Structure 1
Amino acid sequence: MEFHPGRLTAIMGPSGSGKSTLMHVMAGLDAPTSGQAWVGEVELSGLNDKGLTNLRRDRIGFIFQAFNLVPTLSALENITLPMDIAGRKPDPAWVDQVIDTVGLRPRLSHRPAELSGGQQQRVACARALASRPDIVFADEPTGNLDSRTGAEILAFLQSSARTLGQTIVMVTHDPVAASYADRVVFLADGRIVDEIDNPTADRVLERMKAFDGTDRTDRTGRNGGA
């Protein structure tokens, strides 16, 4: 499977199908038991712990379901933390645009414990985007957001891919969220079973209805998977 610059890809499938595992392997958070994972020309298994840490810090952004915010830092400090660790100065105009897109301006001085779950999710989204990484991995990025804020963040992810040439990979259960993607990849039991280009929410929903525990054909129509 390849994920190209300038495209937003959604990964979908039943619970336990391997969506998060795939994303963690691609990001170097987990090591594959077989095969290889590459980021550009870099093969991840060839890197030591320091090399993986530097790669994730400099080239990858994460939006986690569990937020993973630092409790002692303010929202703004959490947003700029990856750049602070890397010793890079943020682009103020871009950071301001990200903050306004996720609607955090009034809450920047608050610590995570003082924020709602939805607001913490917005901080996590802003942190992933603020440094303009090559790749953004998003695990249910709108799962704790109201529909309006969720739509704004999805549109921002879509725009970031198309205008900045970022590679964005999003795990989601939501057909509406998937409709913002350029491509949807469907997994079942750890295998690729289908893909849809230029998806709509209705097409995604119809495909999801087919997951009844018996669908084991891959995208070429062969039994077994990719």
Structure 2
Amino acid sequence: MSVAAVRAVGLWKTYGGGQTQVDALAEVNAEFGKGRFTAIMGPSGSGKSTLLHCLAGLDKPTAGHVYVGDVDLTRLPEKQLTQLRRDRIGFVFQAFNLVPTLTALENITLPLDLASRKPDPAWLETVIETIGLQDRLGHKPSELSGGQQQRVACARALVSRPEVVFADEPTGNLDSRSSADVLSFLHTSVRDFGQSIVMVTHDPTAASYADRVLFLADGRIQSELLDPTAETVLDAMKQLDPAVAG
């Protein structure tokens, strides 16, 4: 049996104490398969972004363990954790986190530059063509629209072919056409290139590009859905959040 790309084992994340204690995550156990596209959904405050940040090694859980491959992130010293995030994990978040003094191309290849690795020319070209940035590579972030900046961020996350890409609302700042382009590319990278992706989204249409959807509420996994469609995702969300039905 192959090791999952990412595993959460008995994961808790608690804020505060006493009467003000809040469990953002409560005994979460989940596996995210290699070469699979998993979406995480739930009502506002359900813990989905907290889960993503703990899985990605950006936040430390209060209890439990997170494994990337066979490495327990919760046991790594900070220096080794930083190196693992750089070498084995890709990130796409709503905040583009681009370096303002670098061009689009330099931002895309930055993770490889930091790791003293050369990009695979064919893969770099594939990423750039699919995201549609060929004519913007020499531009700085301030010269790009929000949608173009997010596409640079997506390309940056994928160019090093990391073991897993974590995406937090990756299309939140894109129009519907650009969103479809990015999601199609993420789906293609899973289907054709074996990339592993874990994505938080509130959008049923975005979730429909995934192979599997996990639904959270009150910091706990409530259910999962395989081979989702926008309609089946929306139905499942209505069960968790009456506000969706309205």
TM beyond 0.5 = yes
Report the Cα offset of residue 213 of structure 1: 6.5
| Structure 1: gaps (5+ residues) | 215-226
Query: Partner of 1:89 in structure 2?
Result: 118
Determine which of 41, 44, 48 is the counterpart of 1:19: 48
1:211 offset after TM fit, Å? 2.3
Structure 1 residue runs of 4 or more that deviate by more than 6 Å after TM superposition: none
Matches within 5 A, 1:85-164: 85-164=114-193
1:152 and 1:113 map into 2 onto residues whose CA distance is 22
Superimposed CA distance per residue, residues 139-195 of structure 1 (whole angstroms, 9 cap, x where no aligned partner): 111111122221121111112112222210011111111111000000111110110
Partner of 2:86: 57
For 1:31, the equivalent position in structure 2 comes to 60
**Given residue 49 of structure 1, which amino acid in structure 2 is its aligned partner?**
E
Give the Cα–Cα distance (whole angstroms) in 2 for the partners of residues 113 and 39 of structure 1: 35
Of 182, 186, 209, the residue aligned with 1:180 is 209
Instruction: Describe the SS at the equivalent of 1:25.
Output: helix
TM-score, with length taken from structure 1: 0.92
- The one-letter amino acid paired with 1:27 is A
Amino-acid identity (%): 70
Question: More strand per residue: 1 or 2?
Answer: 2
Q: TM-score, normalised to structure 2's length?
A: 0.84
Q: May I ask how many residue pairs the two structures share in their alignment?
A: 214
Match of 2:72 in 1: 43
Is contact 2:147–2:178 with CA below 8 Å preserved after alignment?
A: no
RMSD: 1.3
The aligned amino acid for 1:70 is: V
- Distance (Å, rounded) in 1 between the aligned partners of 2:32 and 2:39: 10
Q: Which runs of 5+ in 2 are unaligned?
A: 1-29
